[in-house]
Amino acid sequence: MTDPRCGDAGGVTRAGAPCGSRLNLGASGLCIMHDDARASERTAMRSRGGHESKLTKQREKAALPADVPKAPRTLQDAVDIASWITRSVLIGEIDVRVAEAATKSCRQYQLSLEKRVLEKEIAALRAQLAEAKKGRR
């Protein structure tokens, strides 16, 4: 005797052939995909599968959010992130393209931070120069 199949209980594929699944047959003899009584279970299964698929794709490309350092606030933070990116690429934790984009972003942050510091220094020097000019008069 062969194992029962979903098609034996009336499960039919989209092509109209009897369903050949032997897995996850319910009391009705139908697989989860053809058993209307288990629709909520099927929906939950598909949802879990979609979530796992998303995580798998994310793992293949980029690091998981829990593994990524926090957003930089200082120049040292940017240096630390650049170091993390380098290590992550070398050990295969993140895709090279992701690392390139992250490195560019990190560099832009660094340049912005440096410009902000220079702007503050220029403003302070201008204020000192204005005070010095007042003292000469």
Which one has a higher pLDDT value, 61 or 91? 91
Q: Which residues, other chains included, contact 75 with Cβ-Cβ below 8 Å and sequence gap of 6+?
A: 110, 113, 114
- d(CA 29, CA 4) in angstroms, rounded, equals 8
pLDDT grade for 122, boundaries at 50, 70 and 90: very high
The pLDDT, as a whole number, for residue 45 is 79
- d(CA 48, CA 56) in angstroms, rounded, equals 12
- d(CA 122, CA 28) in angstroms, rounded, equals 79
The pLDDT, as a whole number, for residue 1 is 56
Domain-by-domain residue ranges, the chain? 6-59, 64-136
> For the segment 15-70, what is each residue's pLDDT rounded down to a tens digit?
888 988 887 788 888 888 888 888 888 888 777 766 677 766 666 677 777 888 99
- d(CA 135, CA 12) in angstroms, rounded, equals 95
Mean pLDDT across the stretch 93-105? Answer: 90
- d(CA 31, CA 38) in angstroms, rounded, equals 9
The pLDDT, as a whole number, for residue 129 is 95
The pLDDT, as a whole number, for residue 55 is 67
3 within 8 A of 9, measured Cβ to Cβ: no
Which one has a higher pLDDT value, 134 or 62? 134
Strands (E), 11-123: none
Residue 50: alpha-carbon gap to chain centroid: 14
